[in-house]
A = this chain, B = another copy of it.
Amino acid sequence: MSNTSKNIVIIGGMASGCKTAARLKRIKPDYNITIIEKKPFVSYGTCGMPFYASGEVDDFYDLAITSWGTIRDAEYFKKAKDINVLTETVVKNIDLESKQVHCQNSKDYSRFPLSFTKLVICTGAKPKKPPFSVPHSEKISTFHNPLDAKKFREFVQRGKIGKAIIIGGGFVGCELAESLVSLWGIESHLVELEERLLPTSLDEEMSLFLEKTFKNNGIYLHLSSKVEKLEINNAGNPEVHLINGESINSDYVFLCIGIEPEIKLASSIGVKTGVNGGILVDSQMRTNIENVWAGGDCVEVKSLITGKHELFPFGSLANRQGRVIADSIAGKKSEFKGAVGAISLKVFGLIVAACGLTEKEAINNDYNAGIVWGSWQDRPDYHPDSKLLFGKLLYEKGTLKLLGIQLAGKGEVTRYIDVFSTLISKDATVHGLIDVEHSYTPPHSSPMNPLNSLGAMALSQEEDSIMALNPLLLNNYIGNVLDVRESTEINNEGLGKRAKEFPVMEYREKLNIFDKNKQLLIVCQKGPRSYEAARTFINEGFRDVKYLGGGLQFAKTVLDDEE
């Protein structure tokens, strides 16, 4: 190694750490780069863990191999990339003065120092500490470390698990619940503190699609359920006691209550952290300490919507951040501008996806949010692959700035989230939704896509006061109700005495049956007919007209149990 070379030490060998190392070595081949990882493996596809747990991915090492079948281990990194990897090695402390990290090998406990000229902290996240005490048991586990998935697979393959409890209804908890039921036939209980699943990503009416799907697939949901106690019962099995008095016994308990940035080492050398507990970095991923960068799940990221720093612990962002860290160290111009938080989840064939702020987050950020809902076929009605799609759009009243979107369906979902994410990152407004040009072909879309449709509804709501009603509020609506569906559609599924029924081809002649000064709600199956009709009634001088957002198709799906 030449004297001009630089020692780069990277703490953490998952997405952002490995990406930093690989790219930096490519740009600066004379740099001496070392990755320190406490686990026995690096560059491991943690997002694939639920698929290994479920059995869909058969081999544990499939999550750590290249596409050409080589395991991404220390030998691979050395020979293929000339990068040093130290696994099962813990950084005990960092000495900024002497520019050294002090390491310890976890197998033989040997200690050794490593010099650095630049340091990169990619320590990731760790499971949050539960607000209840957790007894030590091999039958209770987080689902964070790849070894958690491995241990579970060994257990389940020995037939030891008939019933399991998952505490936490976030992404990992939901994916795990599907895995347990669909592939292993385990009786699964999902316990969530909030009143809905994915509470930080979905509002109630959108989360209900997930809830219905879980219930239909035999998962026992315990929502608004606080755990009072987790104990090992007399039979030696874990038992969960809820604050409502209910107790659930089981053969295995997963703790999936979320993660938080692992910042112990960073804090020890004075790296600044934000209100959400993550490391603060600039757009080049530099911390406040000279020669120290950070990336991945341990950092806070600027929200491109609110401008505030938030936590977005996604593997896709970690990868992009690694690229920027490498560029920044190498002196190349490169920026990580922030994130909008585009997420998706697929369980039992249902895809729920979202981007931007939920209604709650919009309120917390002092936005005056306008909201519209929609339901569509994701392809033309005549196409045999056509599937239902439901959605909700949030925008800022006045400016028409896009705030967030949530979608649920079994077909084309993620493409619209990706386009929305791109639009919102370019400061687009509701007009931008109307202008979206998608690659239309009947096997994959309709001529007007859901984004065009949501944009048009939002604009009508703002410019022409064609107001949408939250489908959750249908049953509590006080006022006149007009159902403009055809009698063949209504059958026994009408709204009973609550509604007058005049199909689209007749209601124009019956306008005078309603009192112009009373509240009027117009409903139809999917939304467009009532949305059109609402305009007619407004044009006729009705004072307070709303249409049912997303139509009865949306409302009936999410309200069914409550009726």
Contacts and interface: CB of A to CB of B under 8 A. Distances in A.
A421 B438 CA distance: 7
Q: How many of these chains are in the complex?
A: 2
Interface in A419-476: 419, 421-423, 425-426, 428, 434-445, 447-449, 452, 456, 463-464
A485 interface: yes
Interface in A369-424: 377, 380-384, 412, 414-419, 421-423
Given A344-B441, A437-B339, A48 B316 contact: no
A82 interface: yes
A439 B344 contact: yes
Interface stretch (A86-94, A235-243, A256-264, A501-509): A501-509
Which 3 residue pairs across A and B have the least CB separation, nearest first? A415-B415, A79-B505, A344-B439
Nearest to A45: B380
A47 B418 CA distance: 25
Given A381-B67, A447-B316, A505 B439 contact: no
B319 A448 contact: yes
A274 to B, nearest CB: 20
A442 B486 contact: no
Interface stretch (A1-9, A56-64, A190-198): A56-64
Interface stretch (A68-76, A162-170, A210-218): A68-76
A40 interface: no
Contacts of A26: 532, 535-536
25 contacts: A26-B532, A48-B383, A51-B383, A51-B442, A56-B383, A67-B525, A68-B486, A69-B486, A75-B505, A79-B504, A79-B505, A80-B508, A317-B437, A345-B441, A346-B443, A415-B415, A415-B419, A416-B418, A418-B436, A419-B419, A419-B422, A421-B439, A422-B436, A423-B426, A425-B437
A246 interface: no
A314 interface: yes
Given A56-B384, A79-B505, A80-B504, 7 more contacts: A45-B442, A48-B382, A79-B506, A316-B438, A418-B439, A421-B436, A421-B438
Interface of A: 15, 22, 26-27, 29, 45, 47-48, 51-52, 56-57, 62-63, 65, 67-70, 75-76, 79-82, 314-320, 323, 332, 337, 339-340, 342-346, 351, 353-355, 377, 380-384, 412, 414-419, 421-423, 425-426, 428, 434-445, 447-449, 452, 456, 463-464, 485-486, 488-489, 504-506, 508, 524-526, 529, 532, 535-536, 539
B68 A15 contact: no
Contact of A62 (B63, B317, B382, B489): B382
A69 B319 contact: no
B68 A489 contact: yes
Given A48-B442, A346-B444, A425-B437, A68 B525 contact: yes
